[in-house]
Chain A
Amino acid sequence: DQQVKQNSPSLSVQEGRISILNCDYTNSMFDYFLWYKKYPAEGPTFLISISSIKDKNEDGRFTVFLNKSAKHLSLHIVPSQPGDSAVYFCAASAQGGADGLTFGKGTHLIIQP
């Protein structure tokens, strides 16, 4: 049973436009959410996180939105750059983020020039 779902295996976006990656979760105990970027042969790189007490967190070009009632979060990247091309994982944790992470299956973002 996949508790964190990323329903788009891939997404293609033109350079300069906004990239929107989506994630849904089913476990109501999750209270800390993160986005990671991953290149082949490297570990996941932390991008941005959000606690369940917030509905938005922004860091530079990256913004994460959390809709607790819909159990949905999204990552917005604007403007998209060629270096953003990678696999993006949504992850969630309970116990204020102390527990191990549950990952989605990832979305491969391709930024086209």
Chain B
Amino acid sequence: AAGVIQSPRHLIKEKRETATLKCYPIPRHDTVYWYQQGPGQDPQFLISFYEKMQSDKGSIPDRFSAQQFSDYHSELNMSSLELGDSALYFCASSPGVSQPQHFGDGTRLSIL
């Protein structure tokens, strides 16, 4: 079965640079969620989109923005990167309310 696809799998950036992470949800899933997992931490919810509209917002810094496109894929844009942004970024998708979220394998972002 098709899963959530995230790209790139690994990304290395320097401080103050920008980064764009991409997420392709499972077909027919209309809701996308972004999470950040720091070393030894649990995943922290950042933001979600339903039918291309922002549906919920968590602890997403103002330096980050995201959007969902007409084909339901989503992009997380990160600017003025800081050392503390080094983390695993997961995307998840869901087919609807009271349905489980299914996660991709994440993008590992390292800030030098």
Q: Complex: how many Å from CA A107 to CA B105?
A: 19
Nearest A residue to B33, CB-CB? A100
Distance in angstroms from A36 CB to nearest chain B CB is: 8
Chain B's interface size range is 20 to 34
Which residues of B lie under 8 Å from residue A36 when comparing CB positions?
A: 103
Q: Is B64 an interface residue (CB 8 A)?
A: no
Which residues of A lie under 8 Å from residue B31 when comparing CB positions?
A: 98
Interface of B is mostly: strand
Q: What number of A residues sit within 8 Å (CB to CB) of B?
A: 24
Taking a contact as CB atoms under 8 Å apart, the answer to whether B100 and A100 are in contact is no
Give residues of chain B (18-47) contacting chain A, Cβ–Cβ below 8 Å: 31, 33, 35, 41-47
Which residues of A lie under 8 Å from residue B100 when comparing CB positions?
A: 34, 46, 49, 97
Which residues of B lie under 8 Å from residue A97 when comparing CB positions?
A: 94, 97-100
Q: Which of B41, B55, B58, B103 has the most CB of A within 10 A?
A: B103
Q: Complex: how many Å from CA A43 to CA B91?
A: 9
Taking a contact as CB atoms under 8 Å apart, the answer to whether B42 and A104 are in contact is yes
A-binding residues in B (CB < 8 A): 4, 31, 33, 35, 41-48, 50, 55-56, 58, 90, 92, 94, 97-106
Some 22 contacts from A to B, beta carbons below 8 A apart, are A34-B100, A43-B4, A43-B92, A43-B104, A43-B105, A45-B103, A46-B100, A46-B102, A89-B42, A96-B97, A96-B98, A97-B97, A97-B98, A97-B99, A98-B31, A98-B50, A100-B46, A100-B58, A101-B33, A101-B45, A102-B45, A105-B41
